[in-house]
Amino acid sequence: MNDFLLALILGIVEGLTEFLPVSSTGHLILVGDILGFQFPGKTFEIVIQLGAILAVCVAYWKRLWGAVAGSLTGDLSSRRFVTYILAAFLPAMIIGAGAYKYIRQLLDSPFTIAVVLILGGIAILVIERLIKRPRLHRIEDFGLPMALKIGLFQCVSMIPGVSRSGATIMGALLMGVERKVAAEFSFFLAVPTMTAATAYKIYKDWAL
């Protein structure tokens, strides 16, 4: 099997798993290991993540642009939306920068990722049983403390094999957020998180 076909398969794996509550990076590494794919430096991983960011921006373009434009013109609801997204991003920015080297080392272990994927699936089943009736139906009603807590849940996904969207969605559900809103917030949060992670990865790893 040639590298082009292998890269295509991995691109499909990324597209199918990026926004599901499973670890896209974990699946990407496991499938790549099974198929014997040799990642060409850091370029492949960076391009894959840029594609995922672009997908979110295209799918939610109107909502994202409306929130940014509204916050600049003084709309209170839009400002809250943007503020809560940025607040939830903050923990990952701080912790991720400090733990980057150790995270990269763990990513080299397919066995570790496989074990964490299994444990993550069990955790989702347990959390589903703990979820209570939702009381929050709009992102604008979250408040800063809740946004920061969801951001801390996102930090759990720095463990290889833990899904970023799964961690944030499950965290939001535990705090009483309606399921659809929890998923949307996770998708919106992906934009600054994945953009920053990709930029930092280029800065740290990519020799121009």
The residue type of 41 is G
At what angle are helices 164-174 and 110-130 packed, to 10 degrees? Answer: 20
Q: What is the mean pLDDT of residues 126-142?
A: 87
% of the chain beyond a pLDDT of 90 = 24
Determine the structural domain holding residue 87 and report its residue range: 3-205
Q: Averaged over 47-54, what is the pLDDT?
A: 78
CA distance 63 to 53: 15
Number of neighbours of residue 2 by Cβ within 10 angstroms: 7
CB 127 within 8 A of CB 169: no
Give 83-135 as a 3 state SS string: HHHHHHHHHHHHHHHHHHHHHHHHCCCHHHHHHHHHHHHHHHHHHHHHCCCCC
Lowest mean pLDDT among 120-124, 150-154, 194-198: 194-198
Which of 16-20, 174-178, 202-206 is the least confident region?
A: 202-206
Q: Using the predicted structure, report yes or no on whether residue 79 has a pLDDT greater than 50.
A: yes
The pair of structure tokens assigned to 187 is: 């998708």
pLDDT at 86: 94
Helix spans in the chain (H): 3-17, 24-35, 43-59, 61-72, 76-106, 110-130, 144-156, 164-174, 179-205
Question: What pLDDT does residue 208 have?
Answer: 47
pLDDT at 4 over 90: no
Q: How many domains does the chain have?
A: 1
Token look-up 């082009």 returns 4
Q: What pTM did the predictor assign?
A: 0.83
Q: Is the dihedral of CA 137, 171, 86, 163 positive or negative?
A: negative
